[in-house]
Structure 1
Amino acid sequence: MKSLVVSDKAIHSFKRDWDLESGQVRIYGKYAGGAPDAFTVGLNAHAIPIDPVWEHSIAGIRFFVERTDAWILENALLQIDCNEDGITLHKTAQ
């Protein structure tokens, strides 16, 4: 992953709605099906790192990517935000 941007709204949601005053969030690739790009990015709160290839802490929350999921974020910018529906993810190639 080239970089990660997490908005203040998303940090607030992780702490309030996801009960992550401090903790860990795994960023991973998952099958979304049917679209031209059948894979997307997912988040898993309270995950325990096994073989992280990338880690970054923001406001007491540790974000990490396992070696097996590095392909989904290769040379990408991942933006995590929050709106009225909850956490949103936007991945762009760099």
Structure 2
Amino acid sequence: MELTVTPAALDCFRQEWAFGDGEHIRVFVRYITEGDPPFAFGITRDTPSDAALTTVAGSLTFFMERKDVWFLQGNRLTIDCLGEDIVFQLL
């Protein structure tokens, strides 16, 4: 499992979302619909309590808690930016 944040996404978090140096951003799995797949990623400011996956980009720390990494299934998650939107690519 790997978590990567692109430079474009880092700029978006700083410029559009107003995240500052030293902040922690939790990536989590959320239920969205009964479609296929019924889950998606979400993000929020948070403090790690049981982080299983962590990466530092710039001076921001991105992490996933142990209860959410099941969704990666050993894959790599890349967080990118398209326009002003954060996008998640599971590879």
TM-score normalised by structure 1 residue count:
0.85
1:19 partner letter: A
TM-score normalised by structure 2 residue count:
0.87
- Once the two structures are aligned, what percentage of the paired residues are identical? 26
What do the CA deviations read for 1:37-72 (whole angstroms, capped 9, x no partner)?
Answer: 11111111x211111112111111101111111211
Which ranges in structure 2 are unaligned for 5 or more consecutive residues?
none
Equivalent residue, structure 2, for 1:17:
16
What do the CA deviations read for 1:7-35 (whole angstroms, capped 9, x no partner)?
Answer: 11110011111111221110111102122
- Quick one: distance in 2 between partners of 1:79 and 1:65? 13
1:35 partner letter: G
2:68 partner letter: D
- Quick one: distance in 1 between partners of 2:46 and 2:33? 24
- Quick one: distance in 1 between partners of 2:64 and 2:24? 11
CA contact (8 A) 1:6 1:79 kept: yes
CA contact (8 A) 1:24 1:61 kept: yes
- Quick one: distance in 2 between partners of 1:10 and 1:85? 9
**Alignment RMSD (CA, Å):** 1.3
- Quick one: distance in 1 between partners of 2:11 and 2:57? 11
- Structure 1 consecutive aligned stretches of length 4 or more whose deviation exceeds 3 Å: none
- Quick one: distance in 2 between partners of 1:57 and 1:82? 17
CA contact (8 A) 2:4 2:55 kept: no
